[in-house]
Amino acid sequence: MSSSTELPRRRLSPAQAETVARLCAAVPAALAEHGVDGFTVRVAARAAGVSPATAYTYFSSKNHLIAEVFARRVEAELVGPDPAAAPRERVLQVLTGLVELVLIDPQFATAVNTALLGHESDAQAARLRVGLLIRARLLEALGRGAPSGLVESVELAYSGVLVQAGMGYLDVEASKAALTRAVDLMMSN
C-alpha cells in the first residue's frame, strides 16, 4: 500500500506483534468451531494461548479482532492486477481475488460482514485500511483513462455482492458470476 493511503498504527514490540499475530491466526479455526454467535475475544485468546486480558489489550471487541484479521488477509493476499491484461480482466482479477479472500469460509464471511458494517471505531479503522487498499488496486486495474465514477460503481457492486454472500445468498461461484455481469455492464462502451 502506498504511503499516501496508510493509516498510522500503534507500534508494537516484537513480542507484542507476535501475540497479535497469534490471536489473528487463531480466529479462522475458532470461528469454524464456535460459529459467529459463539465466537468471542476470550475464545480467540484461549485458542492462541494468551490470557483474555492480554487479548483485550489489543482488541476492544470480537468485531475489532475479526476486522483486523480481514484487513491483514487483504493486505497480505490481495495481489495487484496483471499490467499486461486488458482493464476489464484486471478489474475482474482484483474482484475475484477479493471474493476468494472473503468467502474462503461462510462463517468468516458472515463475521466479516458483521464486523465491517458495525459502528465500532476500532473496526472502522480496519475497514478503512481495507477500503483504501481495494480502491488502490481498482484504480491500478482501471488505469488513468477510466471514466469518472467507474471506481465507485465497481466498489458498490462488490460491496453488494459481498453483503449478499455474507448473508448466505451467494456462494463463491455465484458471487464471481454476479461481479462479472456487473463489470461487463459497467465497462461495455
pLDDT tens-digit map of 91-105: 999 999 999 888 878
What pLDDT was estimated at residue 105? 81
Does the pLDDT at position 4 exceed 80?
no
What pLDDT was estimated at residue 8? 44
Does the pLDDT at position 5 exceed 50?
no
Does the pLDDT at position 2 exceed 50?
no
pTM: 0.84
| Domains of the chain as residue ranges with CATH | 14-187 (1.10.357.10)
Mean pLDDT of the chain: 89
Full 3-state SS string of the chain: CCCCCCCCCCCCCHHHHHHHHHHHHHHHHHHHHHHHHHCCHHHHHHHHCCCHHHHHHHCCCHHHHHHHHHHHHHHHHCCCCCCCCCHHHHHHHHHHHHHHHHCCCHHHHHHHHHHHHCCCHHHHHHHHHHHHHHHHHHHHHHCCCCCCCHHHHHHHHHHHHHHHHHCCCCCHHHHHHHHHHHHHHHHCC
pLDDT in tens, 132-184: 999 999 999 998 888 879 999 999 999 999 888 878 898 899 999 999 999 99
Does the pLDDT at position 80 exceed 60?
yes
